[in-house]
Chain A
Amino acid sequence: MQILLVDDDTDAAGHIAKGLRDAGYTVEHSADGQQGLELASTTHFDLLILDRMLPHLDGLSIVSQLRQQGVKTPVLILSALGTVDNRIEGLRAGGDDYLVKPFALAELLARIEALARRASGDAQSAGILRLADLELNLLARRATRAGREIELTAKEYQLLEFMMRRVGQVVTRTMLLESVWNLHFDPQTNLIDVHISRLRHAIDRGYDRPLLHTIRGAGYTLALQA
């Protein structure tokens, strides 16, 4: 998978590019906004990672110009501006996701994966989501494991549905807060772990094969094996 990283902070960008390459991506780096726009409009990339503040042309202008040219490549905006307004500006300009610096590499990797899957259009919109013997009936909003009904609260169901739609992907705490609770800021207390352990209790307890795994330093994944 080809990724274009446009960031003028070459030192940090170098580390990020290395991290992405270690994760198996092909990365091209540019430190200039204008050059980044030219690269993105002439070469095919699967994902663009754009810093907001860039020399010559800022990240938001690059996105809007690309969108005007009809380029639909998913865009992840990185920014040192992290207030609520800035985030909305970023998404309005045509960005698909917004990540505030500094961030953990694991967070970036999880979001890249999510954007890539979304772009490739994993058609999981069928009525039933399945992982091994765990089944989620989207129409009835019911979950069963090995045919037995699992009692879930409304939020637990939302949490499970979000993860079932991303089987095998790493889902970070921030992603869960954003998508399941619609909160775009990090509370100081780590609230998600408790919710995950309650969900794990609901779906995995009493079964030999655990499906919900914690990925240390990154987040969680729903999969046959961690």
Chain B
Amino acid sequence: MRRPLISSSAARLATLYVCSIVVGVGLLLWSVYALTERSIKNEMDLVIEDELDSLWDEYDDGGATRLAEVVNRRKEDWGRTGAIYLLVDGQGNRLAGNLSAWPSASRADGDWLNFFVTAHEGDDVVDHPVRAKVLVLGTHRLLVGSDVSERQPVLPRLRQAALWGTGLTALLTAVIGWYFSRRVGSRVRGVAEACENIISGDLAQRLPRDYSQDEFDQLAVAVNHMLDRIEQQTAAVRTTFDSAAHDLRAPLHRIRTRLESALHADRIEPGARRSINDSVEDVERLQRMLGTLLQIAQTESGHLGGTEESVDLAQLSAEIGDLYAPEARERNLQLTVDAPNEPVIVRGNRQLLAQLLTNLLENAFKYVPAGGRINVKVGTHAGRAALIVRDNGPGIPPASREPVLLPFRRLDRDAGKPGSGLGLSLVAAVTRLHHGTVALEDNHPGLVVRCEFPQPAGATGSKAA
């Protein structure tokens, strides 16, 4: 699966929010700028056009002479600052106006001209930008314009303000977005950590609350309520199991002590003795099943608590392999243990891990026919400790591999063989308790049981499994 660029949904939302606000503010400021620019230009153009109209009227009334008079009067009297006038005849000679000559270098824009006028202000020589409109009256040409240097600085300033505004908005929203996504992220992480601890069996743990009554706080309250219920029920189940253990074991215990007392009687028929011995064996079998069932129940509901220690899987496998080796020879099975010389450390309960391995070996002993091979392999694989038991027995069909990990589930083909259907369930429960995984695979032919456990930080062991 492709990992998204931003994995946190809060960060994604915040990014989206920052982007849309920045685009919105940018658009707003840009349109303000564009409208302002247009209205400033239009306003000036309208003034010039008005003036041209009135001057045209003067021309209509009194011809060029009258126009020249009006222009000369206006350039002095009329209060429009930066007003530019020029009236020329057919030869280009100036008749009136405050411009010395027809502008040579100019940029035309329809009837409009844009050019610069050089003016002397004290000792400085300054170029003033001018926008003007030309009116052709017979052979005469009239130019009316305006110095636009007055309004020119407004637009760059406005543009700068718009850019700064957009930039600051982007920065501010980014900071807010970052803070927001971090806050949401940290609260979600808090919830996730608490959930991890609860999953690993610490049912007393609760989600952190900040009493702000916000959505997260309300969620925490609801989840904590749910956990209270689950904890009560688990405690009830556990108590039930403990008393069931006691109540079932007590009669078994009485049966066994009575049977043993009976065996000590002086006169007892050989047939009766055999029956009593068989009954004692059955009691032992019941006792073992009950023990395994209770161990599964306690393992499933429990957490490692105080029984946790560093267990070296390599050494444990070697020892258990050694314990089973003579029995394997008796059964004409080839049992081998491949464990590295360096320790393969798992944090956990040594007794339960040992029971896991013995259950796997006893399963193999039960199903692998004489002459078969059983191999136990220990190693580390991608930072996880692996314990793998392989055999070349009949294996387990793929469809049955998940079900046989549940209590009392056995393959139909094994219905006639002794066994409780609890061995693999305990294996699954013990791996879960150790935050590990168990997988049943095909050994072509035979069964591979692969148990993997997380390794504590700093645990050594380098050989690949």
Contact = CB atoms under 8 A, between A and B. Distances in A.
Interface in B337-387: 349-352, 354-355, 358, 362, 365
A12 B257 contact: yes
Given A9-B250, A9-B253, A102-B257, 15 more contacts: A12-B254, A18-B261, A81-B245, A83-B298, A85-B302, A100-B249, A102-B255, A153-B322, A181-B319, A183-B358, A184-B351, A188-B362, A191-B323, A194-B326, A195-B323
A177 B257 CA distance: 23
Contact of B324 (A9, A84, A191): A191
B326 A198 contact: yes
A195 B326 contact: yes
A182 B350 contact: yes
Contacts of B256: 102-104
3 closest pairs, A vs B, by CB?
A: A80-B249, A194-B326, A102-B253
A22 interface: yes
B125 to A, nearest CB: 99
A101 B350 CA distance: 23
Interface string A175-219: 000000111111111010011001000000000000000000000
A11 B242 CA distance: 21
B261 A15 contact: yes
Interface string B265-303: 000000000000000100100011001001100100010
B246 interface: yes
Contact of B362 (A85, A103, A182, A187): A187
A128 interface: no
B258 A102 contact: no
B326 A16 contact: no
Nearest to B324: A191
User: Which of the listed residues A100, A187, A194 has the most CB atoms from chain B within 10 Å of its own CB?
Assistant: A187
Binding site secondary structure of chain B: helix
A157 B352 CA distance: 26
A118 interface: no
Interface in B154-192: none
17 contacts: A11-B257, A12-B250, A15-B257, A15-B260, A53-B246, A80-B245, A82-B291, A83-B291, A84-B295, A102-B287, A103-B256, A105-B260, A183-B358, A184-B351, A185-B291, A188-B362, A189-B327
Contact of B257 (A16, A82, A88): A16
A168 interface: no
A142 interface: no
A170 to B, nearest CB: 15
Interface residues of B, number: 44
Interface in A1-19: 9, 11-12, 15-16, 18-19
Interface residues of A, number: 37
Interface in B204-255: 242, 245-246, 249-250, 252-255
A88 B253 CA distance: 22
B327 A194 contact: yes
User: Which of the listed residues B257, B295, B305 has the most CB atoms from chain A within 10 Å of its own CB?
Assistant: B257
B253 A12 contact: yes
A141 interface: no
B79 interface: no
B362 to A, nearest CB: 5
B264 interface: yes
B260 A183 contact: no
B362 A101 contact: no
A34 to B, nearest CB: 20
A101 B284 CA distance: 10
A155 interface: yes
B458 interface: no
B43 interface: no
Contacts of B7: none
Given A19-B264, A186-B288, A81 B323 contact: no
Contacts of A194: 326-327, 330
B306 interface: yes
B104 interface: no
Interface string A79-115: 0111111001000000000001111110000000000
Nearest to A192: B323
A83 B350 contact: no
